[in-house]
Every structure is written in C-alpha cells, then in structure tokens.
Structure 1
Amino acid sequence: MTVSYFRIALVLGLLTAIGPFAIDMYLPALPSIGSDLNAGTASVQLSLLVFFLSMGLGQIVVGPISDMTGRKLPLYGGLALFIAGSIGSALAPTVEWLIAFRILQGFGASPGMVVPRAVVRDLHTGVEAAKLMSMLMLVFSISPILAPLSGSVIIETLGWRAVFWTVGAIGIFGVVLLATSLRETRPPELRTGSSLGSALIGYRYLLGHGKFMGLTLIGGAGISSFFVYLASSPFVLIDHFGLSPMLYSVFFSINAIAFFTMSQLTGVLAERYGLRRVVRVAAMAHASVMVLLLAVMTAGAQSLWVLAGFLFVGYSFLGLVIPSTSVLAMDDHGEIAGTASALMGTLHFATGAVAMAIAGLFFDGTPYPMVAAIAGCAVTALGLTYLTVGRGREEAPAPAE
C-alpha cells in the first residue's frame, strides 16, 4: 500500500468522523441538558433522534449531487451547514431551539457520511475496497473512542454548550482538510450522464435490486443495535448504574474499541474466506451474543459487568458486519456510487431512528428494554443475512454498465 492510500483513508476517516463527533461528545451531556433546559428525557432524546433522521435523509439528496457535481462541492456545503448548526445549538435557549439546530447540524453532517463511501468506490472494488474501508473505519474510530472522553471533560469544566463550540471548530478544521488534502475522484467526464432524472432512475433500480437492498438492510439492522445503545446508554449507565459522565465515557469507548479493532480484520478475512462468509459468520456471532445477553438478564443477572462483557464481545463481531456489507452492496454500482451510497446511508439511519424510537417507547430507566431492542436488531440482521448471502446462494451478476 502506498503513502497515498493511507493518506486517503486518513482524510476520508476524519471527514466521516465530524458528524459522529457531534453525537459522541454530546452523549455524556444528555442528563445535564435536560436539567439545564428543564426538559424531560423524551425531549432530550428527541434532540438526538432528529440529528439521526436529518443526517440520514440528507444523504438521499447529497449522494446524487455528488454524482452530478463531483465529491468535494457537497462536502463544502455540508460543512458550512454543520458549523452553523453547531453555533445555533451552543446558543439554544430552550430544548425546542436545540432540536431545531440539531436538525440543521444533522443535514450538514450528511455529506461526510455518504461521500467518503462513494470515494472508496471511485478508487477500488472488492477486497481492496474492503481494506480501504476498514482503514477508513480505523480513523473514524477516533470519534466514539475519544469524543465521549473529551466531551465529558469539556462538560465538567465548561458546561454542555462548550461541546457545540468545540464541534463547530472541528467543522472548520474539516473545511481546511478538504481544501488541502483531498483530490476530486469524480472528474467532469464521468458526471455527464448524472442528473436528477438519472438519480431517480438509480434509486428505483437500487430499491428493486435484491442483493443491494438485502446487504443494506443487514447493515442497517446491525447498526441499529448500536444506535439503540447510543440513545439509551447515557440514562442506563449514568442514572441507573450511577456512573459519572467520565466513567460513562470510558465504558462507551471500550465498546467502540471492540467494534473498530475487529473491523480492521475485514480485509484480511475477506481475502482468505471471502466477504460473504465473513458476513454470515459475524452476523451469527453478533446475534448469538446479544440474545444470550438478553437471556442472562431476563434470568436476573442485570449487573453492570454482565452488560459490559456481553456488549464488548457482541459489538466486536458487528465491526465485521458493517464494512463487509457496505463493500458488497456497492461493488456492482460504480456508475452511481454516490446515489448507491446515499440510499444505503439513508436506510441505515432511518432503520436506526425507528429502532431508537421503538426502544424509547418502552424505556423505563432499567437496562432491560435497551438490551431487548439490541437483541431484536441483531436477530433481524441475522435473518436478513441468510436471506441475502446464505450458504449456497450465488452472487447476483453485475448489471450492464
């Protein structure tokens, strides 16, 4: 691998991490935001949910635009919106204003989620794409590992509003990084056939493409198990188990380390066993661990250490599912990589938002509803895996370009 290969992964990973930083730094502050703005748990969780929804829905627009205009222009526009939303969130006088600016911030974060996947597909396919995607995820892992820790320090010393000033500054750094360190990977001659009409045709084609939809929904169900954890864990771990924001951040970071460390094996395992087999085995292991966690907690073992141990192992296997399904889903769609990446991202975030909302309806302050929802998502991902890439199923032929 060349120096350029590592540099591309570094830049794409950092750009992708900017939006999630606005989630992960903010998680330890959820209980204190509720107290400061005199808002209930549901309202505070809504400020997280709308960020997910807007970041997901924004991708459906950004993807085709990146096919039509190139990859860099949508990133510039998104970063501008993200910075504006961050400033508004820092100044929000009520939870309603916070929710409104979080929507804007989420739309601004959406290009950073969709465009890097399209850039990976512009440059590579198959095992090489899996290697680049796993390396990108390694860089991206700085967000869930460092963001909660740094966020808790900022919250304890400067208050929760300083978190949004910090992520706004990170957005400005993203603009500088984009301007100086990323070349355009979709040259003008490849954009000539891209238009709003072709995007609609592309979406219709992808929605009817069984392999693409199956792989996308496997990833969506898998990542939903993590989104449920994102939304519920601050209240479970801080309010129920009594952890400080700093200890909560450590707990959260450990699970993120498991996820992203395992994701680094994707390229090696894919080269040896094939991506389809990696998805099958990882989805089975992820679901088995999460169902066993639910069974153990139902039997009465609801200690923090039981929860921590099972989640660590379960999310490590999820680290193999997400990059593998993303690469497999994108392989056949190089001509509409931005559109395909957009639809994938939107479906991932929409699925996650639905799972978060359902889990929130049953939330009672204890770990059980969160664990039940996590297990349900993992089992759904496993079922979709065997429908899509089950043993003996043949690869769908690539469409004619």
Structure 2
Amino acid sequence: MPRAPLSVALMLLLAAQPVATDLYLPALPHIAASLGKGAGQVQATLTVFILAFGIAQLAAGPLVDHYGRRRVLLWGLALYVLAALAGTLATALPQLLAARAVQGVATAAAVIAARAIIRDQHAGPAGMRIMARSLTGQSAIGVACPLAGGVAAQYLGWQATLAMVAGFGVLAWLAVYTGYRETWRRPESPARAGLWTFLSHPQFVACALLAGLSFSGALCFLILSPFVFIGEFGMSRMAYGALPALCSLAFLLGTVLCGRLLRHWSVPGVVRLGACLSLLGGGGQVLLWHGGVHTVWALVIPQCVYMLGHGFHNPCGQAGAVAPFPAHAGRAAAVSGFVLTGTGFVSGQLATASGAAASDTLVAAMGCITALLAVVALVCVPFACRERALPGHAANRNL
C-alpha cells in the first residue's frame, strides 16, 4: 500500500472536526422536516457533537501521552467511521443525537493526537507555522464540505451527508496507517502534570482563550447561518452551501498569511494583525446590520473578514498553548482544546437560546465575541508572551 505523507495525515486529522460539522450543515433544515422536529431541536445535533468533543478531549490527552499517538488514532478513527454510519441509519432524533455524541468523542482523539504530533516535532513559531500549514489543508477541505453537503442534501437526502463523513473517516484512517510512524517516546521519569499546571501558565491561558473565542465566532455562524440564509432569506440548500465555503476560503487565506508572517514577525505582532481583521469583520457586521443594510452580503462579507483573522488566531492559539509543555503535549492539547470547545459550546448555547430572529442573534453574538477577542489578542497575549522583538530573539525562541 502506498505510504501517505505525514503532512497529509495531519491535514486530514485536523479536518475531522470541520468535516463532521460543515458537511451536514446544509441538511439541518431537511433533518428537521424529515424527523418532524423544530429548528432548535435539530441544532442540538451540532451542539451535542461539540459538547462531546470538548469533554472527550480531557480523556484523549492522557491516552495519547500514555499509549502513544498512533494506537489512539487508529481506534479513534475507526469509531469516527462507525458513528457516522450509525447516524445515516437514525430514524429518530435521539438516535441521531447519540451517534453525533459518539462521533464527537472519536473526533477528539484524532484532533488531540494531531496537535501532540506537531509538538513532538516542532516548538515555538516553527510549530505555529506547521500548525498553520496543516490548517491551510484543513480549510481547503472546509471549503468543499458545505458545497458537497449542499449537493448531497439536495439530491440524495440528509443521510448522504453523514455517509460522506464516514468516507472521509476511512480516508483519514488509511493515511494514518500508511503515513505515520510513532513520534511519541515515553519519558524515563515522567513528571506529573495536573490541570493547575496548565491553567496557572499565562501563555497557556492567553493562547487557549485566543483560539476559543475566535472559534466561537466561527461556530455561531455555522449554527445560525442555515436558519438565517435558508429560513429567513429563502436561499436553496445548494446556494447556501457556497456561503460557509467562502468563509472557509477566507480562513484558508488567513492561515497561509499567518504561516508566512511568522517567519518575519513576532508572534504577538501576528496576533495583533489578526485582531484588527477580527474587529473589522465583527464590527462591520454590527454596523451594517444596525445601519439598515439587511442583505445576505452585509452578513457574509464581514464574516469572511472575521474568518481571515481566525486564520491568524487559530494556529497561534493552538500551538502557543501547547508549546511550553513538550513532555505533556497530549495533556496540554487536551486542556486547551477543552477551553476552546467549552468557550464555543457556551457561545453556541447562548445563541440557540435566544428568542430573537436568527439574523439578529447572529449579529449580536458576533459583536460580543469580537469585543472579547480583541481584548485577549491585543492585551492578554502580548502580556503573557512578554515578547516585543522579531523572531530570533530569546523570548521568541521560548514560545
């Protein structure tokens, strides 16, 4: 069997989460109609996935640090495939919710192991560049997911979207099996690392919050957008699929720019630029909407600008949180991932609980998230990293 490059395996592993969410987004209204449920109830299939994904990371981290990356990956991806197939067979909402919860658990194993592999081989800005490169591939897949999901939902039914998720899982399993050889080595005298080890580290907290808040803005858009653009604006499922794809394309561009800028700029400098883009996108969305510009593009174009900034924050936040803990990369990735998804879960719950129209809720959520993100990116990250110089200085090497 031909051996897949490790870079391809990392890209697929990090894409496991957006594939499991973005691919079936255009099918959410169809699922609601098919199962005879309301929009809020069907949105729970996404919420329960995120919740299971977030909690399971706390278990996945110790597992990949104890049993190694490869073994956990192969078992986790097998479970990912089985859960997606179970979802295609669901005839009632509780069955679908259970399948999505199991898939969230499996996805946690894939993503945490991938982040630990990156830290096994690279530290500091180098690790952030590798993370950015892997996320570029992830976002390229993300561009295709809602488009493919829209076509599948339109012509084959909502079950076809989950069948495609299962197919992706098989591809990722084969990439790991053929392209990854264990990079983890058991330390001779491992030191204990409890939750406080991570939460008391300023760089960990600042970078985890940076990634979490940035992800929250992307997640709120994913949760609410089908009901805004299909429900309120009357777009077809196929036409709607192009909108998340545009946002994923903007995220892809952001990761490419982030990786290149990290070769010449300090990490806080790159994060500040991302914060400016986030403010321009989230703030622009609020100003346009409350200024009476109630069109599809008044929501989508600012969201794309926000996602461009997300392409800066996500690799810097994820790699920056794990960087100080080379001996506990799995646990550090797990706790930071829990912070990321926990932040996203709370934001998503607040958004779905709103009694306002989906469009008004989206604008309000993006305004609040953008304001908090700006504080973390412009104040907390530079303070925690204590870096003002360009790469090459001691402070930058220690990131």
TM-score (norm 2): 0.92
8 Å CA contact retained: 1:70, 1:184: yes
Unaligned runs of 5+ in 1: none
Query: Comparing 24-33 with 82-91, which one deviates more in the overlay?
Result: 82-91
| 3-state SS in 2 of match to 1:186 | coil
Q: CA deviation at 1:8?
A: 2.4
Q: Which residue of 1 aligns with 2:260?
A: 268
Q: Which residue of 2 aligns with 1:17?
A: 15
Counterpart mapping for 1:332-351 below 5 A: 332-351=324-343
Q: Which residue of 2 aligns with 1:112?
A: 110
| 3-state SS in 2 of match to 1:73 | helix
The answer on 1:355 being equivalent to 2:347 is yes
Unaligned runs of 5+ in 2: 388-393
Q: Count matched residues.
A: 389
The answer on 1:326 being equivalent to 2:323 is no
Query: Comparing 334-343 with 261-270, which one deviates more in the overlay?
Result: 261-270
Alpha-carbon distance between aligned partners in 2 of 1:43 and 1:239, rounded to the nearest angstrom: 15
Alpha-carbon distance between aligned partners in 2 of 1:191 and 1:176, rounded to the nearest angstrom: 32
The answer on 1:370 being equivalent to 2:362 is yes
Q: Which amino acid aligns with 2:187?
A: L
Q: CA deviation at 1:53?
A: 0.7
The answer on 1:45 being equivalent to 2:43 is yes
8 Å CA contact retained: 2:275, 2:378: no
Q: Which amino acid aligns with 2:243?
A: F
Q: CA deviation at 1:124?
A: 0.6
Counterpart mapping for 1:2-401 below 5 A: 7-187=5-185, 189-190=186-187, 193=190, 198=192, 201-362=193-354, 364-390=356-382, 394-395=386-387
Alpha-carbon distance between aligned partners in 2 of 1:55 and 1:331, rounded to the nearest angstrom: 22
Deviations 1:77-124 (A, max 9, x none): 211221221122111111111111111111111112111111111001
Alpha-carbon distance between aligned partners in 2 of 1:391 and 1:12, rounded to the nearest angstrom: 31
Over 3 Å counting, the alpha-carbon distance change for 1:285 and 1:141 in structure 2 is closer
Q: Percent identity?
A: 29
8 Å CA contact retained: 1:59, 1:346: yes
Over 3 Å counting, the alpha-carbon distance change for 1:170 and 1:268 in structure 2 is closer
8 Å CA contact retained: 2:277, 2:308: no
Alpha-carbon distance between aligned partners in 1 of 2:167 and 2:6, rounded to the nearest angstrom: 22
Q: Which amino acid aligns with 2:251?
A: F
8 Å CA contact retained: 2:268, 2:385: no
Over 3 Å counting, the alpha-carbon distance change for 1:393 and 1:205 in structure 2 is closer
Q: CA deviation at 1:284?
A: 3.1
Deviations 1:164-184 (A, max 9, x none): 222122222222211111111
Q: CA deviation at 1:318?
A: 1.6
Q: Which amino acid aligns with 1:13?
A: M
Alpha-carbon distance between aligned partners in 2 of 1:282 and 1:117, rounded to the nearest angstrom: 21
Over 3 Å counting, the alpha-carbon distance change for 1:93 and 1:392 in structure 2 is closer
Alpha-carbon distance between aligned partners in 2 of 1:134 and 1:370, rounded to the nearest angstrom: 27
Alpha-carbon distance between aligned partners in 1 of 2:230 and 2:14, rounded to the nearest angstrom: 28
Q: Which amino acid aligns with 2:190?
A: G
Over 3 Å counting, the alpha-carbon distance change for 1:212 and 1:305 in structure 2 is same
Q: CA deviation at 1:59?
A: 0.9
Alpha-carbon distance between aligned partners in 2 of 1:165 and 1:310, rounded to the nearest angstrom: 32
CA RMSD of aligned residues (A): 2.2
Q: CA deviation at 1:218?
A: 1.4
Alpha-carbon distance between aligned partners in 1 of 2:316 and 2:65, rounded to the nearest angstrom: 23
Query: Comparing 111-120 with 46-55, which one deviates more in the overlay?
Result: 111-120
Over 3 Å counting, the alpha-carbon distance change for 1:363 and 1:374 in structure 2 is farther
Over 3 Å counting, the alpha-carbon distance change for 1:158 and 1:97 in structure 2 is same
